[in-house]
A and B are shown apart, each in its own frame.
Chain A
Amino acid sequence: MLKISNLYARVEEKEILKGFSLEVKAGEVHAIMGPNGSGKSTLASVLAGREDYEVTAGEINFDGKDLLELSPEDRAREGVFLAFQYPVEIPGVSITNFLKTALSEQRKYKGLPDMEPKEFLQRMKDKKALVEIDNNLTSRSVNEGFSGGEKKRNEIFQMAMLEPKLAILDETDSGLDIDALRIVANGVNRLKTPQNAAIVITHYQRLLDYIVPDFVHVLVDGRIVKSGGKELALELEEKGYDWIRKEVEA
């Protein structure tokens, strides 16, 4: 589904991704861990198409398409979804109107007519239940005045509404209390199908107890230095990143 080859990306003259490669197949969950500043969010931004990031070398192929050629909106329409580490507040734009517009634009791209209002409301209701999000929250403006945890939950709600092929969750667990973590992880698991895939960026092994990854990758200084199964996360939790750095240097 996704093949990233030897990717180099920079922001404001600073090289951040330095030869990043990763392949994700349908049905898989990949976890990416790594120290602060190693480039995890940069990777997520580059995948979603943020314009401040300049790709200087490498390729990203998504379902046969050159992702780097597509605008952010077309990437979303192709099925890429980024749950932001820091979701932005948009006062005055209601969540309902926002999601209605997003769905309608995505469907138009696929040649589908707008959803019937009834069908849309039903989907809102179902997905709200899935991520146990409050009606109070969804009647408000996008993220406006939301707590950190509420913002994260709203990201997963949007993911549930849009049903992407590839979800990239950038530290969706940070800022969540234990119950919310369980609910969000549960939501992600229930949205999982053999046809879609997820990249889960996290600092904590705890999340991976709930969302069990097929692969764990360690990102240091802009590239993957070690990959393994879910037990790699446990090892990292125990020993920190220093041993990996040493291993790489050796």
Chain B
Amino acid sequence: MVMEHTLKERLLEVFTQHDLAAKSAFIGLEGFRNTAFETFKAKGFPGRKHEEYRFLNFEPLFKPAHEIQPVANTLKEPAYPEWDKDCFRIVVINGQLIRQWSNLDGLPSAITIGSLQEALEMKNVKALAAIGTLASNDDDPFVALNSALFNQGVFIHIPDKVTLDKPLHLYITNQGNTHLFTQPRILVIAGKQANASLIQHFATATLPASFTNSLCEVQADEDANITMYCVQNEEENQSLVNTIEAHISKFCNFKTVTVTLGGKLVRNNLNVVLDSAECEAHLYGYYHPKNQQTFDNHTLVDHKFPHCNSNELYKGVVEEGGHAVFNGKVFVRKDAQKTNAFQNNKNILLSDDATVNTKPQLEIYADDVKCSHGSSTGYLDPEQLFYLRSRGISLEKARALLLKAYAAEVLDQIELESLHQHLSEQIEAINHQV
């Protein structure tokens, strides 16, 4: 493949020219970067033959040359949404933490939020111990590439028994005058009985078509309670691969809500490893692709130990020309007896020219478990539409009412009221344009 050849060559050039491995040497990351890059070189970008990426076509996206380690000199402070006022905030532009626009006033002093690279340089024990042990380079070329090329990144540490009393808004964006290829990286370590909710917010606007390869790793220790909202609201020419890899321990409660409303090609890899007995994970998603947009959610819930629960609900609305992919893997391994694992994916097609590929994959190796999965794809129910219309409600309003109710099941999982309201209104506005 021509593109792969040239892009790979350019990546290689960047990797050697910038001497990233050597620069990382003093923090002991040289080997880590080199191995990651070798892995990426061996695998290359996933093409159509790659089982996990077979519905995605990256080739046309990388036709124009991309700047790979962009350092923008004239950055502009982004405009934040209404709900930002209820949050702490950090701003990540082109993968780098921009301190002057962060808002950490009143942050409990025990909590560390800073540059990942600096944390590693300062030999932060937690960061050093965790880096490279969560997401695996071998499983996914995008992870390998992020490990090889990430620049600075973000490190968040919430120590034992500490509560982050407001959600942390991670505003992730790109800025520049050319096509960018950026590698934001976030490492979150939540100690025993730590509580936190994080909002990963992708919001790149008005920029030549660019590509973000984001990686967020979460390690949750015993009895930690972590909620992650993932709000994807990029312009229609921006593409994103967002990998979240979470490893959770005993008594942990881990919840994610992923809402994808913008972007050209958006791929979410959400991998949750239930790494101990008696923990639980809840995964929710909502997506609405239209007109040449592809939104792809790949989730993996890995039950390794007994007495764990997982529950997953992804719902989508696919408009004319839109393409949605859902692939939900649930592994229940041999020792994971007494597992409860439920998964459901629902899709509403708003046009004959809308595409959905949905594939639940339950692999169960234990015998004393309760597991189920379901998926449905269909049009809005004509009986419901007729009922509403027979009371004087216009077809357009009837549709909007049904779509709003449909989305609510996922949105109601968002506990931050202002974010909930913002997304509900945004979705309502989109539905009124249908």
Contact = CB atoms under 8 A, between A and B. Distances in A.
A92 interface: yes
B390 A105 contact: no
A226 interface: no
A76 B388 CA distance: 10
A90 B409 contact: no
B402 A101 contact: no
Contact of A88 (B387, B392, B394, B405): B387
Interface in A86-104: 87-88, 90-93, 97-99, 101-102
16 contacts: A48-B390, A72-B390, A73-B390, A73-B392, A73-B393, A75-B390, A76-B391, A87-B387, A88-B384, A90-B388, A90-B402, A102-B391, A105-B397, A109-B392, A162-B391, A162-B392
Interface residues of A, number: 31
A90 B404 CA distance: 12
Contacts of A76: 389-392
Interface SS, B side: helix
Contacts of B164: none
Given A84-B387, A87-B387, A88-B383, A93 B405 contact: yes
Contact of B401 (A49, A84, A98): A98
Contacts, number: 73
B409 A92 contact: yes
A99 B391 CA distance: 8
B342 interface: no
Given A92-B405, A97-B401, A142-B387, 16 more contacts: A49-B390, A71-B389, A72-B390, A73-B389, A73-B392, A73-B394, A88-B384, A90-B387, A90-B388, A93-B401, A93-B405, A101-B397, A101-B401, A102-B388, A158-B391, A162-B392
Given A90-B405, A101-B397, A101-B401, A106 B392 contact: yes
B62 interface: no
B386 interface: yes
A17 B383 CA distance: 21
Most buried by A among B389, B391, B394, B401: B391
Given A88-B387, A92-B405, A92-B409, A77 B392 contact: yes
A50 interface: yes
Interface string B365-400: 000000000000000010110111111111101100
A76 B405 CA distance: 23
A82 interface: yes
Interface in B390-431: 390-395, 397-398, 401-402, 404-406, 408-409
Contacts of A48: 386, 390
Interface in A80-135: 81-82, 84, 87-88, 90-93, 97-99, 101-102, 105-106, 109
A112 B335 CA distance: 66
Contacts of A91: 405
Contacts of B397: 101, 105
Contacts of A50: 386
A94 to B, nearest CB: 9
Given A87-B387, A90-B388, A105 B409 contact: no
A97 B397 CA distance: 12
Interface string A43-71: 00000111100000000000000000001
A105 B402 contact: no
Contact of B393 (A49, A51, A92, A101): A101
